[in-house]
Chain A
């Protein structure tokens, strides 16, 4: 076996970082933070080296081999489990995304206001541990290892939400945990089912992905359906698809900004990645037979997520609902079974991580200033904090897939690919681009445009902390009589008085001196914050203008997945001699 050490290093480095940071409990906070950041930056360097190595080896050696940079050691020989790692184009781009996002997330969390009794060291240690687990999921080439990593990933995230989150963190963390646990158990059943089914074909059962793929067509369809169901529910919870989504708005809203960014940006992609990695290649017959179910849920999610997003009053919940709509696009692309839609879905996973990462971080920066997550507590922020407003604009444009941003490429590929096989579904999904403009620009209008107003921006006399007090403390969980009610605060009075005063005051007299006063109190982005968001902005534009280097990595894997699942692209009936020629 041609062992490459990139992946074990990528897996162990953040883990080591996590341990080191935990051990530094006595050190000054700044040293701890710099140590964690140092580990994540080295990790990024290794990931870049891996990318370069992968690119330079593309098209050489055994081109039929699905994975490169493989590494394998025996783990539980009696069950045929080996600790196998490797990357294909899709997992490589996801690992690169993780490596890029973690240093940014650490930077964004640099001055995070944590709940009493929590240290920043613990927070950063958990983020690094989460990074290791996420890398493990995407790098696993053994289904059992995939499952273990899938479950392990849960633990740091549970603590990140439950220990470091907002007011309703206990409820949100428990809900997240229970949902994930249910999915994980169903998945375990399916993993074992896969093992048993492979034992009926091969001399002994196996968890090895390549071996399973080679016998995928020999597993009876009815068995595949059951196994598929278990995986699909687990992935649909993780992705999440409507109607299994209700944990995400709570978890995303209560998670601290850093953890929330990784949750929405990366963790949820494990669901759609699972479809691509496990369901399509290993259960092709069931995937083809049941694709309509996922497509239906995906299209519902696109429309439903967008409409519900438009009705949100909490910025972070809003972001999670927009993500639910976007996950619909990803799932649609995966199950439309065309090269463009699958490559688009894989690219979408990366792009959404970048775009929503930026949106989430910017929302966090806004909320940190205003002390409120409520949309209604803001107004005219663009005049007060032009840089923050500009970054919010870039994130918004990426969210609505404006050409020139990265999201356009992936959304376009998903839709055009889907259209060639399922025009009807694609038409409904395309309506999603109007809805995206509606919900995103409406929020942009309410927070950034208009007169300078709102308790988040100009403050009020009732104390600066505009967070909604919710009547639940401690680890309440499901043993209480149900969920603590989610209540958007009724701050209307304060807001409307502020708004009523404004027009006269703002129009002519001395708007700039007033804006300057508010600006001084509110503050625009600091140097650290600019450093945090700039890489994301650059990536958004770069991948929108010149996405081909990433597509070149993804395309072969998308085509291999098409072969695995046994589909070919529909042939255009009126194609010319040079099909698809750009000229």
Chain B
């Protein structure tokens, strides 16, 4: 493979080289670390644009390129190439990752300015970009898995970036372990594919999956469900969602890039990428759609009760990814809708997080929205950019969320029957709750009394909110522009769907039982109700500085992370700790105790011999015993032979 495709390995290599240089270079590079970090990601973006342009100029039938690099693992009939799969779907992600990644890198220059470990931060961010690009560009399930775990590692390092905070350390470990649970699913799916089809490359599996579906349709469903388990872990979907809110312990740019715009959407990528598998299993698709629907509701509910601005956004991310899962679960023809929401979400959620970071920056790292209020005047740029993102996420007409979410709700209704009604209604209600919690966030942060005026920071000083520097606001403005316009640009004329067709199949306009216009109006009405309720509850009277108590059981549940942590604690953590304690005790007292008991018995025996032999034998008596045993066995054996 020559030309621009042959050079596409540089997409991964350049950010990776940046990470390695920054890590190995040590403190020598402290002054320029952020520049190296930004430059490599921007270079990757430029290269991504070039590859994209080359592909777009190819005829639609010739847009999938295999780029072999070297043989990675070969043993027997297992043959895994380290190669790239450059197609419209992977290129879409490449542009998202490097584009949003570059913006967030630039923002971080300002955000992390005073951190003594800024160089390390950029090294990890570069590592993340490289791993994420490997995830989307790899041409086999194993290269995908490598990227998959690689982004998990970068996420671990960045959540735990402020490693001296115990909460950050715990959150990092929790994220990694819960991701690993999902990874087991992905790994088992790979094993099963190899066992059944003898191949683990995308092209090989997609070529054989039809044969497998004829022989054993159940196996295809099992593969689909195992892949889904992996997707749930990475994307914070129920039942593996509990790590994502905790992951907000990381610096805010990390939350924006990894835990909103890119890494957590990897699950959606996985399902869209493996669309040939999901196309063959309606059961598998239905489970995806159900998981997505449950998650979008759980995320919404969790988002309503949090006072920590980043946790609200984290639950919002869980919920939005639920919408994407719902979309890709609806199957053939509408994969593109999931990707459309994913891209729009990349803009508006990254914008919201960067805005939240700007607010925190202004407020001495305060995250409690109850201590904010009236910040619109102090932070005008932040306010305007976040407002654009806000209108996008609630699906305000003509903003990008509108173009993405509305068709998903229509497609859910179009699934037909009870199933369609349930999925569609849940998605509709979710839109209303989204409007509620996002409006609540905006009101508590930017409107009302400036509650911070009466308060002191954690270090006993007054708050002096100020707008961020240009290096931070410019990326926010660009993301705001994307939040406004990306949806229209990508959706009108089915531009994105047509582009993705070679990868995920042609787009089919969903045909809901009632006309699309009715659903659109209905959605807008529900959203309006959500906005109004938020205003009614938080907008009309002063926000109390502490969360009101007591509350209804529903609010209590939402505050308690919708039960996620409690379930993990009861089902996994406590039994695990108990089992560990028991086994450690058994090992020391039981198994080793038996061994030592035997030794002591023999030792007593040898003690007598010692008197007789003047203490010369000592422990070697045991060896005599063992020797006798051996000789007896030998005699037996020889007779046997």
Contacts and interface: CB of A to CB of B under 8 A. Distances in A.
B79 A582 contact: yes
- Tell which of B181, B212, B587 has the most Cβ of chain A within 10 Å: B587
Given A193-B638, A415-B191, A450-B166, A339 B600 contact: no
Contacts of B584: 308, 311-312
Interface stretch (A34-42, A59-67, A418-426): A418-426
A227 B637 contact: yes
Contact of B116 (A245, A412, A512): A512
- Tell which of B23, B576, B596 has the most Cβ of chain A within 10 Å: B596
A187 to B, nearest CB: 9
Given A185-B626, A223-B640, A555-B76, A572 B195 contact: yes
B184 A433 contact: yes
A485 to B, nearest CB: 9
Interface residues of B, number: 100
Given A181-B623, A196-B641, A423-B195, A339 B76 contact: yes
A569 B146 contact: no
B211 A574 contact: yes
A413 B80 CA distance: 11
Contact of B191 (A181, A426, A578): A426
Given A311-B581, A583-B66, A483 B592 contact: yes
A397 interface: yes
Nearest to B146: A403
Contacts of A486: 588
A402 B153 contact: yes
A172 to B, nearest CB: 12
Q: Which 7 A-B pairs have the closest CB atoms?
A: A582-B81, A339-B76, A449-B169, A185-B630, A572-B198, A403-B146, A311-B584
A443 B77 CA distance: 38
B239 interface: no
B194 A581 contact: no
A190 B640 CA distance: 12
Interface in B56-77: 66, 68, 70-77
B81 A437 contact: no
Contact of A574 (B173, B197, B618, B626): B197
Contacts of B622: 178, 181, 478
Interface string A468-498: 0000000101111111001000000000000
Interface stretch (A94-102, A129-137, A271-279, A546-554): A546-554
A200 B640 CA distance: 11
Contacts of B600: 478, 480-483
A285 B379 CA distance: 78
Contact of B199 (A308, A442, A575): A575
Nearest to B214: A574
Nearest to A383: B164
Contact of A382 (B163, B170, B597, B636): B163
Interface of A: 174-175, 178, 181-182, 185-186, 188-190, 192-193, 196-197, 200, 222-223, 226-227, 230, 242-243, 245-246, 304, 307-308, 310-312, 338-340, 343-344, 380, 382-383, 390, 397, 402-404, 408-409, 412-413, 415-417, 419-420, 423, 426-427, 430-431, 433-434, 437-438, 441-442, 444-445, 448-452, 475, 477-483, 486, 506-508, 511-512, 546-548, 551, 554-555, 558-559, 569-576, 578-583
Interface string B416-453: 00000000000000000000000000000000000000
A580 B198 contact: yes
29 contacts: A178-B599, A181-B622, A185-B626, A186-B629, A189-B637, A230-B633, A246-B595, A311-B581, A382-B163, A383-B163, A404-B146, A412-B187, A420-B191, A420-B195, A423-B191, A426-B191, A434-B177, A445-B170, A449-B169, A450-B169, A477-B618, A477-B619, A478-B599, A508-B459, A546-B72, A573-B212, A574-B208, A575-B208, A576-B211
Contacts of A572: 194-198
B76 A559 contact: yes
Secondary structure at chain A's binding surface: helix, strand, loop or mixed? Answer: helix
B175 to A, nearest CB: 10
Interface stretch (B320-328, B386-394, B493-501, B601-609): B601-609
Given A185-B627, A442-B173, A340 B196 contact: no
Given A226-B637, A227-B637, A479-B618, A582 B184 contact: no
B201 A581 contact: yes
Given A185-B629, A193-B638, A441-B177, A575 B198 contact: yes
B78 interface: yes
A548 B71 contact: yes
Contacts of B70: 546, 548
Interface in B145-173: 145-146, 149-150, 153, 156, 160, 163-166, 168-170, 172-173
B247 interface: no
Nearest to B79: A580
B25 interface: no
Contacts of A193: 634, 637-638, 641
B162 to A, nearest CB: 10
A197 B640 CA distance: 9
Given A412-B73, A419-B192, A582-B83, A449 B201 contact: no
B619 A413 contact: no
Contacts of A343: 75-76
A380 B166 CA distance: 10
Given A182-B626, A343-B76, A482-B597, 12 more contacts: A175-B599, A185-B626, A230-B633, A427-B188, A449-B166, A450-B165, A478-B603, A478-B622, A479-B606, A483-B596, A546-B72, A582-B71
Nearest to B601: A478
Interface string B175-213: 011001101100110111011111101011001100110
A192 B637 contact: yes
B137 interface: no
A445 B173 contact: yes
Interface of B: 23, 66, 68, 70-81, 83, 116, 139-140, 142, 145-146, 149-150, 153, 156, 160, 163-166, 168-170, 172-173, 176-177, 180-181, 183-184, 187-188, 190-192, 194-199, 201, 203-204, 207-208, 211-212, 215-216, 458-459, 576, 579-581, 583-584, 587-588, 591-592, 595-597, 599-600, 602-603, 606-607, 610, 618-619, 622-623, 626-627, 629-631, 633-634, 636-638, 640-641
A200 B164 contact: no
Nearest to A321: B587
B606 A478 contact: yes
A479 B79 contact: no
Given A404-B146, A434-B181, A581-B201, A223 B164 contact: no
B599 A482 contact: yes
A383 B166 CA distance: 13
A230 B78 CA distance: 35
Contact of B633 (A186, A308, A558, A559): A186
A397 B190 CA distance: 21
A307 B579 contact: yes
Given A311-B580, A402-B149, A482-B597, A581 B199 contact: yes
Contacts of B146: 403-404, 408
A228 to B, nearest CB: 12
A419 B195 contact: yes
Nearest to B639: A196
- Tell which of A382, A390, A512, A580 has the most Cβ of chain B within 10 Å: A580
Contacts of B153: 397, 402
Contacts of B637: 189-190, 192-193, 196, 223, 226-227
B187 A445 contact: no
Contacts of A449: 160, 163-164, 166, 168-169, 172
A478 B602 contact: yes
Nearest to A343: B75
Nearest to A442: B173
A438 B575 CA distance: 14
A196 B603 CA distance: 35
A207 B57 CA distance: 70
